[in-house]
A and B are shown apart, each in its own frame.
Chain A
């Protein structure tokens, strides 16, 4: 008896030591990857404060001063002000329209017995992964006279974001117990009234998921704005940064770093504030899609 209990205790101690070792190992591996991820970004921000000479001579060191000269030069030469404004408008409008249109469609597909539901599903599933060929899109947008305008960019972006968003909303709305809605309908509310007053207020997770996914996609979109927007003051942020880096990348490195830093700061801030929603949103978006 005594031998078994000693044996057991040794086993437990052994396991504890093994646990502590594996925990240490886990931390090391995690830290390793954290550095691989975090340091380049840190390096980018540090580079924005350095002068060109510092970047060449001392890639590792900390910047000598915290002067903001690079930032103001980049802001001016890359037209970052208008670019920031345009990105904000495009992303916000995309989110707004996708939310409204996809929520209505998702609700209808979830709760009304519509005749073509299956056909609509198949259509979405088969076509949603396909990227829209840019030349016909350009021709279309120019035929309706919206080239080089923000709505000309917003409309295709919204259209592209609809299938996944509709799926997310539909899946969410299907889970709402029918009793909740039936009770309201019996009381004399219209279907829309039930939707607006009962279902929507409890739909925050779905709204957050769709909102974040669409915001992220629209904000970081590079290709469509590249082709559909021409003039420097209509560009969105990614295009402005890329064009600036392309033109000045060989000579004004420090300003390029500053431009990159300005470009990524908004998204980083939003991400840090809403980070839980980001993770949740992208996870459920991927699984549903």
Chain B
């Protein structure tokens, strides 16, 4: 049934193409998303009847003395993982962008943690961090650096840092390949022109590479930051917020309030506060990307 190519009105049945997508999305994503918002206005323990309490849960967040530290941990996590991931990813991307031998080999291994499951990585690293039989401490002891062989997961001073290291270990490969793709799209003429002008390699890096990488840098930083705010799996499996709450993050706090303390409404409120925070970051990223596109167009 051929339709005229100049028809101005779109036939109704073409909308059917998007109905399954919209339907599924509406039911299994949007519905819970908005229902959760309503849930945050209740007090409910999952067993007795829920009680409508309005904005009480949100008011409670202002006086909750565990919320501040959790947010702080997210911020520390964010700073630590973003810096670590970006620096390492950029360094390795620049190195791999040269025509070295064994490039594919390196890239294959370096990227691998990205595809491994969080569970496997978290459990494996819990083992690496084991203060008695773990690989890290036995390595430190064998080179007589015993004083550095701390309780990575058991000491409140080091626990969060230990988790940050695991997160970086898993994800830097992801940011690395994004950088590689971007590096490969920088026209070689820029570098040649710079070399003719006598610019050193470092100068070339700073004045050509870095500016060209700016959009991708924004993407990488945003993704890493979003991941840091939403992080749940690693702290849950490795330390469950401990020791003494030193690795408690917002997503974990929301979960524990709901499932351990039976405060489903409060847990939902926390997750919505987190969602708002995350959305702000996402919107900022959109603005930056959109303005970039407007500039280049």
Contacts and interface: CB of A to CB of B under 8 A. Distances in A.
A238 B118 contact: yes
Interface string B1-25: 1110100001000110110111011
A140 B125 contact: no
Contacts of A36: 169
B128 A222 contact: no
B96 A30 contact: yes
A30 B106 contact: yes
Name the interface size band of chain B: 35 or more
A44 B111 contact: no
Contact of B100 (A23, A56, A186): A23
A237 B117 CA distance: 10
B1 to A, nearest CB: 6
Contacts of B279: 126, 129-130
A95 to B, nearest CB: 15
Contact of A264 (B3, B109, B117, B226): B117
Nearest to A60: B138
Nearest to A29: B95
Interface stretch (A1-9, A66-74, A112-120, A199-207): A112-120
A107 B17 contact: yes
Contact of B124 (A156, A186, A260, A267): A260
Contacts of B223: 286
A34 interface: yes
Nearest to A188: B2
A239 B122 CA distance: 13
B145 interface: no
Interface string A242-266: 1001000100010011001001100
A12 interface: no
Interface in B118-142: 118-120, 123-128, 133-135, 138
Contacts of B278: 129-130
B25 to A, nearest CB: 5
B110 interface: yes
A55 interface: yes
Interface in B193-215: none
Interface in B84-129: 88, 91-92, 95-96, 98, 100, 102, 106-120, 123-128
B22 A120 contact: yes
A109 interface: yes
A145 interface: no
Classify the interface of chain A: helix, strand, loop or mixed: helix
B33 interface: yes
A253 B127 CA distance: 9
Contacts of B268: 133, 135-136
Interface residues of A, number: 92
Classify the interface of chain B: helix, strand, loop or mixed: helix
B267 interface: yes
Interface string B255-284: 100100000100110011001001100100
Contacts of B128: 40, 43
Given A23-B100, A34-B110, A260-B120, A223 B18 contact: no
A222 B18 contact: no
Given A112-B17, A129-B278, A136-B32, A279 B177 contact: yes
B120 A101 contact: no
A29 B5 contact: no
A41 B112 contact: yes
B10 A114 contact: yes
Interface of B: 1-3, 5, 10, 14-15, 17-18, 20-22, 24-25, 27-33, 35-36, 39, 88, 91-92, 95-96, 98, 100, 102, 106-120, 123-128, 133-135, 138, 169, 173-174, 177-178, 181, 216, 219, 223, 226, 230, 232-233, 237, 251, 255, 258, 264, 267-268, 271-272, 275, 278-279, 282, 286
26 contacts: A23-B100, A30-B92, A30-B110, A33-B92, A37-B112, A40-B124, A40-B125, A41-B112, A56-B133, A101-B20, A101-B24, A104-B21, A105-B17, A108-B14, A127-B29, A129-B226, A132-B29, A133-B33, A136-B31, A159-B25, A191-B3, A220-B119, A242-B119, A249-B126, A271-B115, A282-B114
Interface of A: 23, 26-27, 29-30, 33-34, 36-41, 43-44, 47, 55-56, 59-60, 100-102, 104-105, 107-109, 112-115, 120, 124-127, 129-137, 139-140, 155-156, 158-160, 162-163, 166, 182, 185-186, 188-191, 216, 219-220, 222-223, 237-239, 241-242, 245, 249, 253, 256-257, 260, 263-264, 267-268, 271-272, 275, 278-279, 282-283, 286-287
Q: Which 6 A-B pairs have the closest CB atoms?
A: A133-B36, A108-B17, A159-B28, A105-B21, A136-B35, A136-B32
Given A44-B120, A131-B251, A136-B36, 10 more contacts: A36-B169, A59-B138, A130-B33, A136-B268, A159-B25, A182-B5, A190-B2, A242-B237, A275-B108, A275-B111
